[in-house]
Structure 1
Amino acid sequence: MKNNHAKVRAHDAIVGVLYLISAGLTLYTQNLNFLWIAVAVGGLQILSPLTKFCPVYFVLNKMMPDTEPLQDGK
């Protein structure tokens, strides 16, 4: 597992930002439909261990080819 710490931290940061964007847009616009962003991200996080696929890791695996692939569906 070489250099995967940066990939895991990037994943956590991206997911955290998506949650904050969802909450912020909901509070700012008072439109509860923005909570669906958080629901979708949470659903993907729940399904990720079962399917062994994560869209964020898919992109990060392409952007960081010198690291070991994580959650690549294998």
Structure 2
Amino acid sequence: MEKNVSKVRAHDAIVGVLYLISAGLTLYTSNLNFVWIAVAVGGLQLISPMTKFCPVYFILNKLMPNTDPIQNGK
């Protein structure tokens, strides 16, 4: 069970870093196109409960095989 908690925390950290990178690049460069990174991540988060697929969990499931698969499309 603790291994699954670490996978969920890793997912949250990766997604959070992507949001921060998007905001940071937008503010640093004044290029609003970097906001699309946050929009894409948010869109994936919105549809993942319905599709049961998350690219971050897909990668984490491969990197952490000794844990229960999370949102692996089943």
Give the TM-score category using the shorter length: over 0.9
TM-score, structure 2 length as denominator?
A: 0.98
Partner of 1:11: 11
3-state SS in 1 of match to 2:69:
coil
Report runs of 4+ in structure 1 exceeding 4 Å deviation.
none
SS at match of 1:48: helix
Equivalent residue pairs, number: 74
Match of 2:43 in 1: 43
Structure 1 unpaired stretches of 5+: none
Which residue is 2:21 aligned to?
21
* Residue 52 (structure 1) aligned with residue 70 (structure 2): no
What residue identity is the alignment partner of 2:32? L
Q: Which residue identity lines up with residue 52 of structure 1 in the other structure?
A: K
Root-mean-square deviation (CA, aligned residues, Å) is 0.8
CA distance in 2, matches of 1:71, 1:65: 14
Between the aligned partners of 1:25 and 1:11, the Cα distance in structure 2 is 21
- In the alignment, which residue of structure 2 is the partner of 1:34? 34
Shift in Å at residue 2 of structure 1? Answer: 5.4
Q: TM-score normalised to the size of structure 1?
A: 0.98
Q: Which has the higher contact order (CA 8 A, sep 6+)?
A: 1
- Residue identity (%): 80
Alignment correspondent of 1:72: 72
